[in-house]
Structure 1
């Protein structure tokens, strides 16, 4: 459903009836659903007793099956490519057809016309190249497929996210999370990514995935909804990529992509509410180049094939930063990537394939001091060195054990580095090894939160030696995935059964510490909240955070699904998936263990006229999402998190640290005692359910003529359960009858029961935050008195938070047009996304703590939190295509017009009913400003944005295989604001910040990309 792929440039043979019937009968539609994530199928009708042989001349792949008694045939698990299909009758007559097979679809090839017993052999006619791809009446999914040829013709960035954003129902996620897409209202942390059947999603935070060298991609399939039971662990979408492979014919080539700095426009500057310059981007620079070479061919003709690619990319940029920043950077990223794909046709019935690739990249950021308020470079501080990516190896077997039974098995292993280390100006390497008792060395981090510091640049406290200004990740941080799966397909009459089992184990080595071991935060105590009236007192807070652990996520799933041809024109789909998730902390203990979470899938597809020109379809399904691995590093493993306040008398000019310290005597552990692991039984509610949502889709698709089809689908998604953390431990104490106790001078002493026995508070080992399902009663185990005895407490849901809600509804209009020299595809989506949680992450404040956002930490945070969510883009119009002016020249275009995201106004919650401000400790995180409620999404919207990309390509006739291309991105240089600072009040005093609604991101400025390529 919704398959978008250019018609082949080769002639195809078709039925004699009409050009439209021919165009619709010979491509990606079949009598039963072809659910698979690596291959397609060939299905059709002929005369009972005939034999059907499909053959790919390029690879020698060949299979022969018999036509069943009802005149139908099916060849499953067919590698993508162009095939010749030959029918041989009992009387010795033969006839042939040609069809393309794409991933996850079925090529429908008919050798007879008519239905039932009134069937006659058809003759062959020839169809031109301008016909559209037919409607896939076999599928209930919402799927878009783009081939390498299409992608090369469209002005689009060559990465999986940019291509996925061409599909209906996708929007770009918040810039805080990198280059990621939101599917159908879900957060960017709820998608899954595959290559050749192997899961390449980085499960540590679900905010990254392996970056395949994009020149090696043959097809990209984007599933935006309705996907079958074979796919899971996603509430958003699925991106499924298939790599190129070798053939009998030797091919080689290379290309260079170059984006020069000279043709890149400047980004906009940002200003404070006072009109003063905040961020000067006028001197920022960036250029990028990537060179690739590839070769493919047969090592043994018709038997053993190889495709190899080597790619090297470099990105260089200078970032000068904020005028209140004390450092600026010069950055260089190197990407030495490679890919190898090998295919072995052991026999016609047994195939073996190997996929191996590396997506490693290293970034060195040279850090320099600058004078506050000036764009200059002074002393060199050092280098921030980070690594990302790793090596991936996947082996897959496919066996055609009988004409009706196919079996595949996959095993794969991948590594993904997240390493970081520093090198000082003196050449000394600094890193964090993960030992929580040994903080990182170097300069402490200095922040200045005193009122007015943004204007008084000369008096701002800042570090003159800190390289990163933040936390650093341990040097050996790395993720390792081991995945095994087995899938079977069995044709039983009118039923196509698919079933399988997969194991996906993910291990993460992680940890972090502040670069200098601590943060010194300069603050002002202002009792009456009125600036500069003489009662202010400066103080400083010390905060130390060290953490490190090896944590795991073990995932198991099995599924079964049936596509049943109730009639020749009507398919019913029924499936079920059972997921099990186990999260393991740094001590090897499971703190969340959910088994056999059931996800039913139902659907239908009605080929109204029986000729694949008009399809009505619908589906309903339940989809579950596991906890990410990152939850366990601090929340469920040993960690150190302390705070303490001091008076001070001076300021060290060498490090920025305070001098003359006098402690307030309030040293405290924020998240358990030093070095002690949390009891895994106390981390999560005993009745915890996975995050899951229900989805419903209803639509139709109609071919209007040979060259144009359109469709409409309505989508509704309802989040039924979320997982997040709650940090209000007092709900447990109140449920157990504890009350706060004070001394004669109203000093808080602690919480005590009726026998004056005091509870163990967070600074004595009490777990600070716990995983739960928002809105549901939570069953917590707690060592209430710190004596090792666990007490079970059922906390009513209303004491913790309201029900987690996220409802997405959309109406999508999509079309596919293809003529001899011109193709155009596009969509318009009207969508609404409402709720009180975005999901795994929180774009409101750019919080990437997947599954542990602050949404439900305290009940007060949920007040007025229901409304339009950050990924609510009410209107989205997408158009893209290409026109061949001549055989040598072509032009392409890509248009996006989109409405802006909703805005919030986040301020403090004053917990003191008197004249003094006593702000909640979560500061400027509440849906209220100036003491007035401002419900989520009610503070207006950002402006509409539009983006026009264009390209021109030249393929000189005198040099076959040579091509030049120029892409211009954002031709009109539109630079609308795409996100702003929604925290508008000071977190302590409640005064309006000068950074209120400060732009945080813009549209990417105009840039130009050149390409030269040669294939032979």
Structure 2
């Protein structure tokens, strides 16, 4: 008991300084025990064991025969059921999935007066979660490790329904949203970059045990996003030592012609390779386990510099993961996790955005990037009883994006662009030097109480997302012999925050064995802090009701009809505060009648302003959508499932910045209200029908197929992040802007599978076919076109 008290005190101390668990890292097993007449069997002993579990867990069935063992590490379990009056029953190879409940259905026991052998069940398995309305998919390592995939786990999601690759370089688009509207979690901790909302920490799939994707219908305990939620858990140690060595190599000789994002510069030969090692095992059996992995990754590519020729762009990423799993007491478990992906890149920048057609010297294109980050986590679970348990976690997530010149000339000279010839020369041009360091600190605690047919959960969370930033850019341009300009864009060092308190309460009520209602309520606040340390903007009315139902017709655990309604908010990225809540920026344009590199005097300032902290927008609504879902899922035999789901998402409010003529400057707000009342209200509606089929063959074979018919309609595609694609900047740009959005994918069919016949051989394949309109109209009746779908 003393150790438990010490652990709890340690949690409380750390909670004041670092962040907490936000997604599930465990799963559950449930079932109902009856006799041969179908009557419930009370006080039966249910015990579970697994290579993933330290020691053994158990409980007794209730008066109505039900049992549920919760917060189990993901893995394959053996379930033993015994009673003084009945023969023992054993279920083997029971898979506990990430964030899911595995049901054993009705378990019939035989009285000991009958002479029958002990029952051992190995083939029968339930593949449907009878408790959840969430729309999403789980993939175990056995299901994705044999497939031809990119190395980063984030790309695995493109195998799944509603997850489509983007042509704009913003990552995977889920359910009509854009890549900057997703959230990524590793071992329960969000690793999404809080600055821009881009994908977070890179990990190879070799480090992972399971991946979970949620695209909708989830409960109030989960922090939401406008896109998808991707949650993975890394591998753990065990009572036996295990490890692997792996390698990967690909170059342009081994691939087809790549279709790049339309902003990418021309490239030549390339090579991408990595090697990796991992090792896990016991420090003390059933008490303390370890896992460690390291995977250096190398990318080398020849990139064309106009007027110079090809130059090598190369990078190395040091990817690592480590975990300690400690069974502190029989009722207390602690996990200590570290992951990271620090990266160094000698980059060849594309400076086409400057209108440059050629370079006189290569230095304007040569930069050095320092990126990536490190994540630290401590999480714990304490079981007060079979019906009451507490979870807590602390973590620190850091990211860096530092850009600077890689050559001496690049550091010491300014970039010079001759507008008559389109030729650039001089120093580095890559919007640097700049340095953005973000740290996300979150803390939460969650309690679960089971009272008969009711499972009650409540939790609190506090998050502090911080951005330290600075950048400096000077560019000199020549228009003719007597016309030069010098443009200075400067951000002095500053810090902004978004502080987010959250709370939720929810109930899962098993009305009967066939009907379950999940209902909950969540609240999130946002307090954006400016560079002076003051609250610059508050959003405090983010109330989120969520409700769903599950009905099981026929044999329990074999099929379900389910539906849900929910409201889902997503917090603002710190880029908004970086623009609107700082007074550290300076912008100026100075005109000269001579070359200012020769004589910096005698210029006339034609444009100059300093950044200001924008006034708070009263009544600002957070960005959110409402969602309705309805679905049916059925198990066929022991290895197949079929499903059909309908989704309707409608964006209720968004936040953008636009030019306000009365002020003569940009202001952020809700389009159609306040400062932006001249703009149309944001609209984005995603309507989809999803059909799925899955085959589960364990370690030997797996396959899945899906078809999604969808429409993504409105005037707001989402947070894309490319400067020339920002929406709602000018009222005129929003004329005729409503229609099918550029990431609409009307028809998408996907098929993937793997087979391992034995003798060390394995094969896997994946196929995607999608169709979208040839052009979509976005403002001023100008079509937006992409390489895969050119405009005629």
TM-score over 0.5 for the alignment? Answer: yes
How big is the shift at 1:167?
1.2
How big is the shift at 1:100?
1.6
Superposed counterparts of 1:376-775, under 5 Å: 383-425=366-408, 430=411, 442-446=413-417, 448=419, 460-467=421-428, 469-475=429-435, 477-514=436-473, 517-520=474-477, 522=479, 540-548=484-492, 549-644=494-589, 646=591, 648=593, 667-669=606-608, 673-674=609-610, 678-679=612-613, 682-730=614-662, 768-775=665-672
Pick from 803, 811, 822: which aligns with 2:681? Answer: 803
Q: Pick which of 391-400 and 98-107 moved more.
A: 98-107
Counterpart of 2:286?
A: 302
How big is the shift at 1:265?
4.3
Distance 2:652 2:670 in 1: 10
Matched-pair contact (CA < 8 Å) for 1:902–1:940: no
Matched-pair contact (CA < 8 Å) for 2:690–2:708: yes
Distance 2:107 2:264 in 1: 69
Does the residue aligned with 1:245 lie in a helix, a strand or coil?
coil
Matched-pair contact (CA < 8 Å) for 1:815–1:825: yes
Counterpart of 1:833?
A: 712
Superposed counterparts of 1:274-353, under 5 Å: 281=266, 284-321=268-305, 323=306, 329-353=311-335
Matched-pair contact (CA < 8 Å) for 1:49–1:90: no
Distance 1:376 1:900 in 2: 38
Matched-pair contact (CA < 8 Å) for 2:167–2:261: no
Superposed counterparts of 1:167-246, under 5 Å: 167-177=160-170, 180-246=171-237
Summarize deviations over 1:906-962 as a string: whole Å, max 9, x none.
7xxxxxxxxxxxxxxxxxxxx33xxxxx27xxx4976xxxxxxxxxxxxxxxxxxxx
Counterpart of 1:823?
A: 702
TM-score (norm 1): 0.69
Matched-pair contact (CA < 8 Å) for 2:742–2:784: no
How big is the shift at 1:520?
2.5
Counterpart of 2:154?
A: 161
Summarize deviations over 1:672-704 as a string: whole Å, max 9, x none.
x43xx634xx43421111001101111111223
How big is the shift at 1:156?
1.2
Structure 2: segments with no counterpart, 5+ residues: 1-21, 34-40, 110-115
Structure 1: segments with no counterpart, 5+ residues: 1-34, 115-120, 272-277, 431-440, 449-458, 524-536, 733-761, 763-767, 779-794, 848-852, 907-926, 929-933, 943-976, 981-996, 999-1016
Distance change (3 Å), C-alpha of 1:645 and 1:308: closer
Summarize deviations over 1:493-530 as a string: whole Å, max 9, x none.
1111121111111111113222xx2353749xxxxxxx
Distance change (3 Å), C-alpha of 1:642 and 1:340: closer
How big is the shift at 1:122?
11
Does the residue aligned with 1:240 lie in a helix, a strand or coil?
strand
Q: Does residue 1 of structure 2 align to residue 40 of structure 1? A: no
Distance 2:478 2:550 in 1: 61
Q: Does residue 34 of structure 2 align to residue 50 of structure 1? A: no
How big is the shift at 1:58?
5.4
Matched-pair contact (CA < 8 Å) for 1:63–1:348: no
Counterpart of 2:11?
A: none
Distance change (3 Å), C-alpha of 1:978 and 1:519: farther
How big is the shift at 1:648?
4.3
Distance change (3 Å), C-alpha of 1:269 and 1:552: closer
Matched-pair contact (CA < 8 Å) for 1:577–1:600: yes
Matched-pair contact (CA < 8 Å) for 1:312–1:335: yes
How big is the shift at 1:880?
0.1
Matched-pair contact (CA < 8 Å) for 1:315–1:332: yes
Counterpart of 2:96?
A: 101
How big is the shift at 1:374?
11
Distance 2:117 2:475 in 1: 79
How big is the shift at 1:94?
3.0
Distance 1:140 1:122 in 2: 39
Distance 2:337 2:425 in 1: 48
How big is the shift at 1:713?
0.7
Distance change (3 Å), C-alpha of 1:182 and 1:396: same
How big is the shift at 1:107?
2.0
Does the residue aligned with 2:393 lie in a helix, a strand or coil?
strand
Distance 1:376 1:646 in 2: 23
Summarize deviations over 1:98-117 as a string: whole Å, max 9, x none.
21211111122356349xxx
Pick from 347, 352, 355: which aligns with 2:337? Answer: 355
Matched-pair contact (CA < 8 Å) for 2:405–2:433: no
Distance 2:261 2:506 in 1: 54
Summarize deviations over 1:241-271 as a string: whole Å, max 9, x none.
1111011011122111111343244557999
How big is the shift at 1:126?
4.1
How big is the shift at 1:57?
4.6
How big is the shift at 1:383?
4.5
TM-score (norm 2): 0.88
Distance change (3 Å), C-alpha of 1:388 and 1:644: closer
Superposed counterparts of 1:54-73, under 5 Å: 54-57=48-51, 59-73=53-67
How big is the shift at 1:206?
0.5
Matched-pair contact (CA < 8 Å) for 1:481–1:505: yes
Matched-pair contact (CA < 8 Å) for 2:303–2:348: no
Q: Does residue 23 of structure 2 align to residue 79 of structure 1? A: no
Q: Does residue 134 of structure 2 align to residue 141 of structure 1? A: yes
How big is the shift at 1:479?
0.9
Distance change (3 Å), C-alpha of 1:230 and 1:57: same
Matched-pair contact (CA < 8 Å) for 1:648–1:661: no
Q: Does residue 248 of structure 2 align to residue 257 of structure 1? A: yes
Distance 2:153 2:385 in 1: 36
Distance 1:568 1:352 in 2: 34
Matched-pair contact (CA < 8 Å) for 2:416–2:476: yes
Distance change (3 Å), C-alpha of 1:596 and 1:685: closer
Summarize deviations over 1:57-103 as a string: whole Å, max 9, x none.
55433122121111111111111112222222134753322212111
Matched-pair contact (CA < 8 Å) for 2:754–2:765: yes
Does the residue aligned with 2:181 lie in a helix, a strand or coil?
coil
Summarize deviations over 1:789-826 as a string: whole Å, max 9, x none.
xxxxxx6x64x211111111111111102458543201
Does the residue aligned with 1:150 lie in a helix, a strand or coil?
helix
Matched-pair contact (CA < 8 Å) for 1:174–1:846: no
Distance 2:747 2:418 in 1: 40
* Greater percentage in strand: 2
Does the residue aligned with 1:165 lie in a helix, a strand or coil?
helix
Counterpart of 2:15?
A: none
How big is the shift at 1:378?
6.8
Pick from 884, 891, 895: which aligns with 2:763? Answer: 891
Does the residue aligned with 2:290 lie in a helix, a strand or coil?
strand
Matched-pair contact (CA < 8 Å) for 2:243–2:280: yes
How big is the shift at 1:599?
0.5
Counterpart of 2:9?
A: none
How big is the shift at 1:412?
0.4
Does the residue aligned with 1:204 lie in a helix, a strand or coil?
coil
Matched-pair contact (CA < 8 Å) for 1:724–1:772: yes
